[in-house]
Amino acid sequence: MSTTLDSKIPDGPVGDKWDNFKANEKLVNPANKRKFKIIVVGTGLAGASAAATLAELGYQVDAFTFHDSPRRAHSIAAQGGINAAKNYRGDGDSVHRLFYDTIKGGDFRSREANVHRLAQVSVNIIDQMVAQGVPFAREYGGMLDNRSFGGAQVSRTFYARGQTGQQLLLGAYQQLARQIGIGGVRLFNRTEFVDVVVVDGRCAGIVVRDLMTGEISSHSAHAVVLATGGYGNAFFLSTNAMACNVTAAWRAHKRGAFFANPCYTQIHPTCIPQSDDFQSKLTLMSESLRNDGRVWVPKVAGDSRAPHLIPEDERDYYLERLYPSFGNLAPRDISSRAAKRAVDAGQGVGPKQNGVYLDFAEAISRLGKATVAERYGNLFDMYERITGENPYDVPMRIYPASHYTMGGLWVDYELMTTIPGLYAAGEANFSDHGANRLGASALMQGLADGYFVLPYTISNYLAGWLNKSVPDTSHPEFSKVEHEARDRYHRFASVGGTRSPDWFHRELGKIIWDYCGMERTEAGLEKALGEIPALYEEFKKDLRVTGGTDGLNQTLEKAGRVEDFFELGMLMCRDALDRKESCGGHFRAEYQTEEGEALRDDENFAHVAAWESTGDPMAPQRHVEELVYEEVHFQTRSYK
Amino acid sequence: MSNTLKNLTLKVWRQSGPQANGAFETHVIDEITDEASFLEMIDILNERLIDEGREAVVFDHDCREGICGTCSLMINGQAHGPERGTATCQLHMRKFSSGDTIVIEPWRASAFPIIRDLMVDRSAFDRIVEAGGYITAATGGAPDANLIPVPKPVADAAMDAAQCIGCGACVAACPNGAANLFTAAKITHLNLLPQGQAERFKRTEDMVETMDAHFGSCTNHGECEAACPKEISIDVIALMNADYRKAKTKNRKQLALK
């Protein structure tokens, strides 16, 4: 273990750090900005907002997405809302309170200075998005409406029906589209990031693959931003979109960027349970349903009676029983684990006994069907489309699923990775959510990074490169990386085995879910660290990719992504094994209180684990960034 | 409770490239649970094709929650299949019966050239948005959000239009291959809001004319509304047309003032 990481946190009290940074950073004058080329990979909230803003400032920007259009990025699927410390309700909210709630929600495992900055710029995000025409929910007087969300005692969540992510992404996309239209941004769509090129210790550019033609090509730049999302699809089944993957972050990791806290994954408690063995993804049901739905399972294991035949006194409303003060609104990590325990104890419901009930019968009798329909109608319809069951008559069945990853590329205060000139923004970095993310904070962080952080911090780096030459794509390192990429794709296409990439992904996901999912143990993680490399060996020998490497080949694309998940899976388990404590989404069964709650070890683990690649995915090097708390004090999270 | 569908015949469009001739390929699915989604059925077919050493059917899909707009597919001649207000990715096999023959085609419209099999190129939609489907508000310096009150009915109507997922079903369903519902949804979203007024008429003119350069013309069939997975009303087309007419006089006046 060594402490070599410089997080570059500015001086001063935590509330002044961002202002101090801005007062002292180096700037690039407007005429010089056009001399700099910046590559942005990914066009979700963080990528689209960064690309558009950097282009507005005058930088040359090239944006890359593997989608057909920037508007497809998975930020679009966020339902609930976006937090901001506007205090429009006058209910006691403030920047400090949002900062504090986020640190506490993250179980005291995030960097204070970053989180405070996030809370500060949250108010600018709402102003910016409204100016751009995002149709947030309004009250009759025309003012913005708010709702409350888990982990907060104030109403600070702004929303656009159940489609907040969609409306924010379309806002950022439209701003990006404007820049594309006027030539400020060059867009490369259906183009997948393949690798980072590092020359003389700095990021010199990237290598990409045109998904339509299969052509591998190089792009040089003064700085590169990875805004490529999280790695929740490591579990195969998750609420992420089918194409979400870790490739960009992982390839950067292999080229020298440290990967932080990979074991911090968020399992969302309210998803529709798996219904068959070839299911491709899981669908989230908004957390807001827990405002009126009551969670229960039969008291007796194996009780297969229909729910309406199970009398009240034979039901276990376990969240209300265990957490009387928060009840059905207990935070995500706690609710998820409670559901898992019920199902593991044989009390699961549904044809596969893999869910718990979320019952609206009481709400319907109290409020009437019409009110329930008004609040949740679209979610009930979606549930019925997927399951064929009508939740007005039969309780919903829910079960936790992989949803978000707090871990990601290690970045300093300026969002730069350990490779100079390479930045990571949004879910792709690790910086703001600690060991658990609060609801409605992912949209906030993506837009904060892209709109209000990167555009400031990137000039601090670029100013030092003014009128200095940087290598272009004729540098031999680019052709070397291109060759490696071509070899890799040829390798996949020529294995000639018997199993598809999806088959391997599914098997890998099962291992990671079983041993590095909601509850982890030393023995389980050791087992996974035996099984994953074995399956990876099989992947190398028995993979079958039909079709060639030239031209469009979705099976080939998948093979590359699955290979990266294999190596990431090993790191997730390694990180979970070495973090001998429970915190937030990381629950080690060995470290729990008598009541079964997470037991943190602040003395030994109040730090970020940042992993350096050694070339051997089974033997990475662990580095540590100590987390220093100047403003908040450690507390035990309690929701009893 | 789940049931099993037996003996489904799929007629799937295969086409190796934009210029190649395409043809239907027939596959039989012996058995599938009705819990499966339509796209999971294609996943299963693709696994089988790879097993047989053949190339998988190429199709666009991503979120599988009905929101990203990546999925497409004409299913038995209907854009996104038989269920109203539902994108292909949210369509489930319980809407079909044992013994059915299901014809699966790509979007068919001259502005959406076929890339391969069931995948088409919808980038003409992006060109329309790039032409004016935004409010110019560079980052930084936006006034406090509550300084611009938006009456609730206006915000709700803007949101109804803004729900568009950009899938292209409206174009595929239109006998003329027109993109009026898509374009009008974006114009209506922005033109209704107070923030959108400064660029209202310029936006309308630029977007409509870019649309006309790529797509066919609207003759009020209304197929687009019926196919739209977000059930966006063709009222938005009337609002767009009204603003386009006004734009033609207003913009001329503004030019004359120069």
Task: Tell me, yes or no, whether A360 lies in a domain.
Answer: yes
Task: Tell me, yes or no, whether A135 lies in a domain.
Answer: no
The confidence score (pLDDT) of residue A239 equals 96
Is the Cβ of A513 closer than 8 Å to some Cβ of chain B? Answer: no
The confidence score (pLDDT) of residue B1 equals 60
Q: What percent of chain A has pLDDT over 70?
A: 99
The confidence score (pLDDT) of residue A54 equals 98
Mean pLDDT within A364-386 = 90
For residue B212, CA distances in Å to A204, B128, B175 come to 42, 10, 15
Give the phi and the psi of residue B221 in degrees, each rounded to 5.
-75, -35
Distance CA A413, CA A403 (A): 26
Task: Tell me, yes or no, whether A426 lies in a domain.
Answer: no
* Residue A294 appears among annotated catalytic residues: no
Distance CA A591, CA A582 (A): 6
Is the Cβ of A623 closer than 8 Å to some Cβ of chain B? Answer: no
Query: Which pLDDT tens digit goes with each residue over A542-594?
Result: 999 999 999 999 999 999 999 999 999 999 999 999 999 999 999 999 999 98
Name, in order, each residue with C-beta under 8 angstroms of B53's C-beta and a sequence gap of 6 or more: A544, A546
Task: State the SS3 of A190-216.
Answer: CEEEEEEEEECCEEEEEEEEECCCCCE
Residue A272 and residue A388 in one domain: yes
N-term to C-term CA, chain A: 37
* Token pair for A193: 């990031």
Distance CA A492, CA B49 (A): 17
Query: What amino acid is encoded at B22 in this protein?
Result: G
Task: Tell me, yes or no, whether A108 lies in a domain.
Answer: no
Mean pLDDT within A361-388 = 91
Mean pLDDT within A135-152 = 89
The confidence score (pLDDT) of residue A188 equals 98
Distance CA A50, CA A447 (A): 8
Which residue in this structure is represented by tokens 């809370």?
Answer: A119
Identified catalytic residue from A251, A332, A520, A561: A332
Neighbours of A24 (CB within 10 A): 10
Starting at the edge strand that comes first in sequence, how are the strands of the sheet with A621-626 ordered? A408-409, A259-260, A607-612, A621-626
Burial label for A321, CB within 10 Å (0-12, 13-18, 19+), is exposed
Task: Tell me, yes or no, whether A631 lies in a domain.
Answer: no
Residues in chain B: 258
The confidence score (pLDDT) of residue B257 equals 63
Interface probe, candidates A134, A282, A384, A393, chain B, greatest B C-beta count within 10 A: A134
The confidence score (pLDDT) of residue A594 equals 87
In a structure prediction context, what are the per-residue pLDDT tens digits for chain B, which is 258 residues long? 679 999 999 999 999 999 999 999 999 999 999 999 999 999 999 999 999 999 999 999 999 999 999 999 999 999 999 999 999 999 999 999 999 999 999 999 999 999 999 999 999 999 999 999 999 999 998 999 999 999 999 999 999 999 999 999 999 999 999 999 999 999 999 999 999 999 999 999 999 999 999 999 999 999 999 999 999 999 999 999 999 999 998 877 776 665
Interhelix angle B152-162/B180-192, rounded to 10 degrees, is 150
Residues spanned by the domain of A544? 476-607
Task: Tell me, yes or no, whether A323 lies in a domain.
Answer: yes
Query: What amino acid is encoded at A161 in this protein?
Result: R
Residue A389 and residue A482 in one domain: no
Query: Which pLDDT tens digit goes with each residue over A15-66?
Result: 999 999 999 999 999 999 999 999 999 999 999 999 999 999 999 999 999 9
Distance CA A282, CA A594 (A): 33
Instruction: Give the angle A311-A313-A316 at the CA atoms, nearest 5°.
Output: 100
Query: Which pLDDT tens digit goes with each residue over A444-479?
Result: 999 999 999 999 999 999 999 999 999 999 999 999
Q: What is the mean pLDDT of chain A?
A: 95
Neighbours of A465 (CB within 10 A): 16
Distance CA A283, CA A273 (A): 8
Q: Which of A376, A402, A428 is the last residue of a domain?
A: A402
Which residue in this structure is represented by tokens 């376990």?
Answer: A318
* Token pair for B168: 């292209």
Domains of chain B with bracketed CATH: 4-116 (3.10.20.30), 123-257 (1.10.1060.10)
- Chain B: closest CA distance from residue A55 (Å): 10
Question: Is the pLDDT score of A2 beyond 50?
Answer: no
Residue A395 and residue A484 in one domain: no
The confidence score (pLDDT) of residue B251 equals 73
Tally of domains within chain A: 2
Of A144, A388, A451, the CB nearest to B146: A144
Instruction: Give the angle A469-A471-A474 at the CA atoms, nearest 5°.
Output: 135
Of B43, B63, B115, the CB nearest to A74: B63
Give the phi and the psi of residue A485 in degrees, each rounded to 5.
-65, -45
The confidence score (pLDDT) of residue B150 equals 97
* Token pair for A54: 């950097």
CATH of the domain at A543: 1.20.58.100
Neighbours of B38 (CB within 10 A): 26
Task: Tell me, yes or no, whether A599 lies in a domain.
Answer: yes
Residue A397 and residue A485 in one domain: no
Q: Which of A402, A424, A443 is the last residue of a domain?
A: A402
Distance CA A239, CA A280 (A): 10
Question: Is the pLDDT score of A243 beyond 50?
Answer: yes
Whose CA is closest to B64, among A459, A240, A192, A634?
Answer: A240
Mean pLDDT within A73-77 = 97
Interface probe, candidates A83, A140, A242, A451, chain B, greatest B C-beta count within 10 A: A242
Whose CA is closest to A616, among A558, A576, A571?
Answer: A571
Whose CA is closest to B136, among B197, B184, B204, B209?
Answer: B197
Query: Which pLDDT tens digit goes with each residue over A88-120?
Result: 999 999 999 999 999 999 999 999 999 999 999
Task: Tell me, yes or no, whether A540 lies in a domain.
Answer: yes
Query: What amino acid is encoded at A393 in this protein?
Result: D
Distance CA B146, CA A85 (A): 14
Beta strands in A9-166 (DSSP E): 37-41, 60-64, 82-83, 157-158
CATH of the domain at A295: 3.90.700.10
A residues 110-149 closer than 8 Å to B (CB) = 124, 126-133, 135-144
Neighbours of A434 (CB within 10 A): 27
Whose CA is closest to B150, among A253, A145, A430?
Answer: A145
Name, in order, each residue with C-beta under 8 angstroms of A280's C-beta and a sequence gap of 6 or more: A242, B37, B39, B40, B43, B64
